[in-house]
Amino acid sequence: MTTTLAQTTWQTARCLEIVREGTATAGSATYLTDSSLVEQADFYRGGTVWFASGSNTGKSAVVTDFGEGKITFATQASNCASGDRYAVADPVFPRWQLIQANNMALATTPLLQTDITLVTVANQESYALPAGVFDVRRVEIAQSVTSPYSYARSYYWNEVNGVIYFDTGKKPAVTGYIIRLWYVGYHAELNADADVVNAAVDLEWLRWASVVNVWRWYIKRIEKDSPASTDLLNEAKSNEQAASAKLKKLSLRHMPRDPHYGAW
């Protein structure tokens, strides 16, 4: 099951305890109503609404107006309808900040990734690494030009300044075979609701790391001491550290660099 940006921002808002969840009693492409919403006019204006079921499932939007149980937002692809589940958050932590907080967290966690851009050229010694590929941990050479490729590991290479060099006498002897690189990289930035979080990312850790980023932004924005906010930041830090410690025990996200054998 994939996890999207819309889902992670919703979960971040949940951890911040700013979300109200409910069921629409009516709606259209630009609004939904819920007779149980009793907050004063403009309470959610500038906040975020997430669509949890119905035709707009998996999307979110900025609340442009709120009053008398009616949440208004930019035109969606489909109509909201009675029975659609939704979640709404007030504007203290805006949608753009929730997205930014998630991306900041993702940008700091290295992930084991693969690249199959390169192909062998008979007796070629050096191969420039593709853009974004560095810190290579393993090099594998396909044994067939068609699937299944039956990759074989090479122990006769070095990475120097963005280039893979094969040892003399151990250069690939054939042309057109995929070179699979295992490397440590970082998550691509997520911008659209449907953008997917890499499956290697621990979602519990991501939620709390994002909450830490949000509280840091908030404390800096208000530019004054706020004991309650500081306490909540420290609580989020503790939860992030606990999730990170659990991750180290239960999950393999990295790979040691393969040894380099002598070419004899």
- pLDDT reported for residue 211: 98
Q: What is the pLDDT of residues 118-165, one digit of tens each?
A: 999 999 999 999 999 999 999 999 999 999 999 999 999 999 999 999
Q: Of all helices (H) and strands (E), which one includes residue 23?
A: strand 19-23
Q: Is the pLDDT of residue 99 over 60?
A: yes
Domain ends where: 149, 165, 186? 186
Whole domain around residue 86: which residue ranges?
19-91
Residue 6 belongs to some domain of the structure: no
Residue 258 belongs to some domain of the structure: no
* 160 and 116 share one domain: yes
- Over residues 32-40, the mean pLDDT reads 96
Residue 181 pairs with which residues in a beta bridge?
A: 115, 139
Residue 63 belongs to some domain of the structure: yes
DSSP letter (8 states) at residue 119: B
Query: What domain count does the chain have?
Result: 3
**Banded pLDDT at 32 (limits 50, 70, 90):** very high
* 114 and 180 share one domain: yes
Q: By the 8 A CB rule, do 95 and 6 touch?
A: no
Q: Is the pLDDT of residue 114 over 60?
A: yes
Residue 59 belongs to some domain of the structure: yes
* 177 and 204 share one domain: no
Residue 214 belongs to some domain of the structure: yes
Computed over every residue of the chain, the mean pLDDT equals 94
Q: Give the residue from 178, 175, 159 showing the smallest Cα distance to 114.
A: 178
Domain ends where: 186, 219, 236? 186
Other CB atoms within 10 Å distance of the CB of residue 209: 27
Residue 81 belongs to some domain of the structure: yes
* 26 and 84 share one domain: yes
Residue 57 belongs to some domain of the structure: yes
CA distances in angstroms from 184 to 31, 85, 159, listed in the order given: 44, 39, 13
**Banded pLDDT at 246 (limits 50, 70, 90):** confident
* 87 and 138 share one domain: no
Domain ends where: 186, 206, 235? 186
